[in-house]
Amino acid sequence: NYAGDDEDEEMADVDDDEDDDELDDEYSDDEDTSYKIRRSATKLLAAIIGTRPELLIPTYKTVSPVLISRFGDREMTVRLEVWATYATLLNQTAVYGIPQGKDDIRKRKRDTETSDAAESPYSLLQSQVPSLSKALLNQLKSAKTPPATLQAGFSLLHTLLTVLPGSLSTQVSLIFSTSKTIL
């Protein structure tokens, strides 16, 4: 009886080794999982942006430039998630950001008036529009860009124009040339 059990244990050990080899092959490259981490981190940022509107100004200062830099992520799913997160930021700005000219409440406090006006979510967004549009349009230029990606990119531009009308007026020629290349 004992001799047979030893063989079973050895066979089980061999089977376990084979399973380990399969797992090693599946996850041998760090790239296989890094996109999942980037995508999950982006989803976490979207959740924070969506639930913490009081953090709009710090978000535009610290998170927005990083998101814009990730517009060109090599993994398409991550890229689309980054764009969706930025759309969430734009939507939060539309809902909770105080547009320029409507800051009558803030005018009561002379000490904070200049700093609030200079650092409103709208002014911070306006300052980032050139880099945002350039990074986004660079991703849409290729004729090989999948239709879903094109739709997501132009949807983000539409959201930007909804939140900040006229913000893309300086990028019209670039938008036209990109659209012409795509069509």
What's the predicted TM-score (pTM) here?
0.74
C-alpha 114 chain-centroid distance: 30
For the chain, the average pLDDT equals 80
CA distance 87 to 64: 11
Residues 119-135 have a mean pLDDT of 93
Joined together, the tokens standing for residue 34 give: 């890094």
CA distance 159 to 89: 10
pLDDT band at 114 (very low <50, low <70, confident <90, very high): very low
Flag whether pLDDT at 20 surpasses 60: no
